[in-house]
Structure 1
């Protein structure tokens, strides 16, 4: 559980009461400034997505990581309170997970927010959004 208590939303994080996971309210590329989500989410290849999570400093925490496929699926649309997690603009709302595909280690799973879809994709062929967890 977070030690941020009632102020955690103001600090840019949210603790999922069902899993105990602490999520960044913003996607990587966005900034949390004065209690607001500022800027646009960026897309990354899989390696850069992992590095971006590890480099994130938010709400005094520095131990962020890329979530697993299963963890990401717990926060698909409708699985968290309204206006808690900020989403990128536009239709493309695909997020990398840290889960490597057992059948092909050159691929990792992504989760598409909005259409309830996940699929393995080549780690270096395309870029997707990133949400950090701890």
Structure 2
């Protein structure tokens, strides 16, 4: 029984690492982002500045530390309102297209560029895009496998903020 537990522990830890297909075209290139040396990265192509960490985490020693906060959709919108980070205001919840632009479709667990967005949860992240058919739901992007789905706004998921470049 002890050997089975150790084997399962080893396999589950091994499976938790990011996996990328080497023969698949990368959807987000390292050259697409500029490190702003303040816990943010600029997507030059889209004119967006991203927080490199999830809400709740801290940018420290070139990585994201601590635990991300899981928020309801309304809480995520409220946190973004008036949020100050990297000596800047104007942070907001990204819309579905903006957040999907971070998805790295050649990778899973997490499906994101780990160079610029380290320690991203392989889980759902809120967008500001509500459902057009169900007012109780909003869109999320899953950084487990870069998929998207509608979630009940009262469920709690992770949040990453964006702002428009000056």
**TM-score range for the pair, normalised by the shorter chain length:** 0.7 to 0.9
Q: 2:76 aligns with which of 49, 54, 64?
A: 49
Bigger mean CA deviation after superposition, 48-57 or 14-23? 48-57
Equivalent residue pairs, number:
125
The alpha-carbon deviation at position 33 of structure 1 amounts to: 4.1
Map 1:1-134 to 2 at 5 A. 8=36, 10-33=37-60, 35-77=62-104, 81-89=113-121, 92-124=122-154, 126-134=155-163
Please tell me whether the aligned partners of residues 51 and 161 of structure 2 are also in contact (alpha carbons under 8 angstroms).
yes
The alpha-carbon deviation at position 110 of structure 1 amounts to: 0.5
Distance between the aligned counterparts of 2:119 and 2:82, measured in 1?
20
The alpha-carbon deviation at position 88 of structure 1 amounts to: 3.7
Bigger mean CA deviation after superposition, 45-54 or 71-80? 71-80
Rg comparison, structure with higher value: 2
Indicate the SS of the match to 1:50: helix
Please tell me whether the aligned partners of residues 71 and 156 of structure 2 are also in contact (alpha carbons under 8 angstroms).
yes
The alpha-carbon deviation at position 18 of structure 1 amounts to: 2.0
Aligned residue in 2 for 1:3: none
Distance between the aligned counterparts of 1:11 and 1:87, measured in 2?
17
Unaligned ranges ≥5, structure 2: 1-33, 106-110
Q: CA RMSD in A?
A: 2.1
The alpha-carbon deviation at position 82 of structure 1 amounts to: 4.0
| Higher relative contact order, structure no. (Cα contacts within 8 Å, ≥ 6 residues apart) | 1
